[in-house]
A = this chain, B = another copy of it.
Amino acid sequence: MLAPGSTIGVLGGGQLARMLALAGARLGLKTHVYAPGAEEPAFDVCAARSVAAYDDYVALDAFAKSVDVITYEFENVPAETADFLDARKPVRPNPRVLAVTQDRLVEKQFVQGLGIATAGFADVPDAGALARAVAKLGRPSILKTRRFGYDGKGQAAIRDGGDIGAIFRGLGGAPCILESFVDFAREISVVAARGLDGEFRAYDICENTHEHHILARTTVPARISPETAAKAVECARAITLSADYVGVIAVEMFVVGAGSDETLIVNEIAPRVHNSGHWTLDGALTSQFEQHVRAVAGWPLGSPRRHGRVVMRNLIGEAVEAFAEIAHEDGACLHLYGKKENRAGRKMGHVTYVEAE
């Protein structure tokens, strides 16, 4: 259990790092943020900053020396960076988790290996393999790059009549995975945490709505049966146990069917705090950010108890221009990330509504 006054190192300086730093400060812990850009949202709220590339080993070494534990706000930390740091200070969640979650194919195989359902998938190393994969999984299906995809980037639908060669080239010719199309009833996520002592605690299940492949809205609790909710939590628990995971994790799932026919398909694992858990800042006793800090600092986990029914809405791109109207809404809990430049599709803030149950 790190003593108050210790320093958490965070790789990445976006809004997730910013909210981690704010949560650490509540517990008397300092944050050292390491990021390549000079103007990062997290830099305004942390005790120390490193502006350096992820392959600057001199800067990484100095960073490691200045902190007590290291975590990250994004899963695309290069493996070499994670291993270099882990040789110096504990990196949590551990770098093996990054290796799994950076690669959609490895991630799917890992999840299936635990006996948990995923969409059908096939390895697509090249254009020739794509034809065989489409023959196996049918159309519609979704082609995704194995690495570096997020918010709908690095993916394309394979529909009837589509030229699959052109679609493969459109993703840059990178190694891909083809996934079956899932006709889901809802999208949910389990935001949970595992402590250094192995304790596991999950928030109530989040129901998510995406627009243009970006999370638009989260409602808690999700409209699913208690049995399905319990199964979803068990999937997340099994994943964290198998990965010897420490920190907050988000497991995105599809709910297929309804009522007693509800089944779950794991879609994606985020080894970090997650947008669908932002509601916990206002709607739960312990925020996901504090929960993550507690876990990586070796503290006991906090209570995930909800204050009521919650809706979280993302403020993306020009939606943030309504901040003044939102600030006037009675009961709206507004969060802005301090980003200087607004762009279409950019997450600029969010707003949470908590209604007593």
Which A residues form the contact surface with B (CB < 8 A)?
Answer: 1, 4-5, 18, 21-22, 25-28, 30, 43-47, 282, 285-286, 294, 299-300, 302-303, 305, 307-308, 323-324, 327-328, 330-331, 333-338, 340, 349, 354, 356
Contacts and interface: CB of A to CB of B under 8 A. Distances in A.
Given A45-B45, A307-B307, A294 B22 contact: no
Nearest to A21: B45
Contact of A336 (B18, B27, B324): B27
A300 B285 contact: no
A5 to B, nearest CB: 7
A331 B349 contact: no
A294 B333 CA distance: 12
B27 A334 contact: yes
A343 to B, nearest CB: 15
A45 B32 CA distance: 11
28 contacts: A1-B324, A1-B327, A4-B323, A5-B338, A5-B340, A22-B45, A25-B44, A25-B45, A26-B334, A26-B335, A27-B335, A27-B336, A28-B323, A28-B336, A28-B337, A28-B349, A30-B44, A30-B338, A45-B45, A45-B46, A45-B47, A285-B354, A299-B327, A300-B328, A302-B327, A303-B330, A305-B331, A307-B307
